[in-house]
Amino acid sequence: SFAFGPISPQAVIRYTALLGELGRYRDAVEVALTFRKLDPLFPQTDQMIAQALKAEIDIHNGAYKMDKALEAAKLLYQLVPIPRYANLVKLLEDELKAKQIYLDRFQRDPGNVQHFKNAMELKNLSGKLQDLPAMIDLFKSKMTTNEQSLVVLSQSYEYLDDYKNKEIVCNQLTELIPKNPVSWFNLARTQMQLKNTNDAAASLEKSLALYAEPGPHKKLNIPMFVSTNALMLPLLERPEIQKLLNPKID
């Protein structure tokens, strides 16, 4: 209807709302700007622009794409220059700087486990997983091999769905802490991702056997997790696993 009646305010309002619902926020802004040229005094034009760009900002914020959110906020303030949107730009700039701190800390001290973990999680949340392989290589070249560093390293490979390298790290963990049932369980899960069912069964059997022993390692209820995890279902019918999941009571 906007094409046939560009000077109709209600047509413009409905059309920009429709474009917003379709996720075409910048198209909605262009329509509103075109109408602003035709009717500079129409009071709701700024509201249409703001509605579209604030929706875009919310989408980017939800996806942790702070740079994209900031870009949209700057455009909003440029088109609707009121203090509220200046404050929004400042807020997003501060948030982006705060997140950049994590990356800067990692670059300064790439062997620090916490710095790598923070930077890695930021990249994951931002959808920039293509940056992770280089970060992983840098971390591995500087890290001290211990339980904490290997756990975080295995998580980084999980983000990339790189289960082959994750299996290598999980094996290192079982060598480092062979009495920890969680390490063997994580190895079993990784081997199931690789469809190495026999290896996974052996690792899970080891995990469940260790879990059955007395000790301070009951934080993760491994039997319950195995029984309710779809990935592990193919292992449940194995006699050696059933025996450990359902031990006979004398």
Q: How large is the average pLDDT for residues 188-199? A: 96
Residue (of 101, 103, 186) closest to 138 by Cα position: 103
d(CA 18, CA 20): 5
Residues 6+ positions from 10 with CB-CB distance below 8 Å: none
Domain with CATH 1.25.40 in the chain: 1-96
Spell out the CATH class of 1-96. Answer: mainly alpha
Q: What is the pLDDT of residues 195-204, one digit of tens each?
A: 999 999 999 9
Q: How is residue 224 written in tokens?
A: 């319950």
Q: Taking all residues of the chain, what is their mean pLDDT, rounded to a whole number?
A: 90
pTM of the model: 0.69
d(CA 3, CA 90): 37
Nearest-10 Cα torsion for 114, 115, 121, 127:
-170
Residue % of the chain over a pLDDT of 70: 94
Q: How is residue 46 written in tokens?
A: 């700024």
Residue (of 46, 85, 48) closest to 69 by Cα position: 85
Q: Does 5 score more than 80 pLDDT?
A: no
Residue (of 160, 229, 216) closest to 188 by Cα position: 229
Pick 203 or 11 by higher pLDDT: 203
The secondary structure element, H or E, covering residue 139 is: helix 132-142
